[in-house]
Amino acid sequence: MQNDRTINSTDNSKNATIMQNLNDYYYFVQVVKFQGFTKASEALGITKSKLSRHISDLEARLNVRLIQRNTRKFTVTEMGQRFYSYCLKILEDVNAAESFIQSTLSNEPSGVIKISCPVALVEMPVGEMIANFMYKYPEVQVHLMASNHRVDLIEEGIDLAIRVRNNSLEDSDLIVRHLDAWEHVLVAIPELIQSKGAPKTFEDLAYFPSVGFRTPQHSWHFKHKQHEQEEVDIAFEPRLRTDNFSAMKAAVLKGVGIASLPRVLVFEELRAGQLVELLPEWSLPQGVIHIAYASRQGMMPAMRLLLDDLIEQFKVRNCAGKTQA
């Protein structure tokens, strides 16, 4: 029992010291901020002598001079300036920790969410989906990074990463949720087809210029819709290489070449006859859209809400697309 009392007494003493340190750090920051004891004491609502005593105790504990006391001029020492920067960071972290707890316990989601997403998806559904979410939750801040480069969530401090693959994700420590699958179609403008002739075989595709993604190798993988065991890989050398679907679509509409594009991106042009699907009896690999994150455990309420909201919005969009089709 005596040992327990000793341990508790030691812990209480440490806690009191930590709290005193935080108070003194806060007082020191205010003195530097207001460039003197008089204005700082007025802002803090304590006497000038008490504030001065706190700073003196802090200097004695650190065994260093932080402020040069002079009746004519207020000066922060070089060591004091560096210590001021550290104190600011400590106090910011304390405020962030308190804000996290308050936002977790409150009914109003808040906080900052960092999300990465391919450029084409930001331009089409995701940008609007994020805007819809932020309209519903005005206290939430979102840092949306439009990038086609694969990000490291842990290293780069990203909360959620939307990615597109032609197949399932390779093994990883991340948690992955399926969002959508985009059917791809090989398309061209009618004028290009008239000039080259409608392709009836894969060999005919060699007569057409092409547009493709900026990758080391280029090929279309075709699978017959009726006889799925029939598969063909057709290599091509694109005139235009880009990592942006919008740029690919613009090039195809100008007759630069043929390209494999998501049907959802060219749906209106196909219906209006501005684009024509080539070799429609064959299918191309779907672009699988998924969202990845490190763990749901310990996830901020706002981030959990955004994750669920994106999944639901994609689900609604899928249902609407099937109805239109």
Q: Comparing C-alpha atoms, which of 319, 301, 208, 216 is closest to residue 259?
A: 208
Do the Cβ atoms of 188 and 280 come closer than 8 Å?
Answer: no
- Per the listing, tokens 């308050």 go with 102
CA angle at 108 for the pair 103 and 110, rounded to the nearest 5°: 50
At 283 the three-state DSSP class reads strand
| Mean of pLDDT values over 150-161 | 85
| Mean of pLDDT values over 148-173 | 75
pTM above 0.75, yes or no: no
| Mean of pLDDT values over 2-13 | 48
Alpha carbon distance 115, 303 (integer Å): 10
> 287-314 pLDDT, tens per residue?
888 899 887 666 788 888 999 999 888 8
Domains and CATH numbers, the chain: 2-105 (1.10.10.10), 113-178+289-324 (3.40.190.10), 184-285 (3.40.190.290)
Residue 201, pLDDT above cutoff 80:
yes
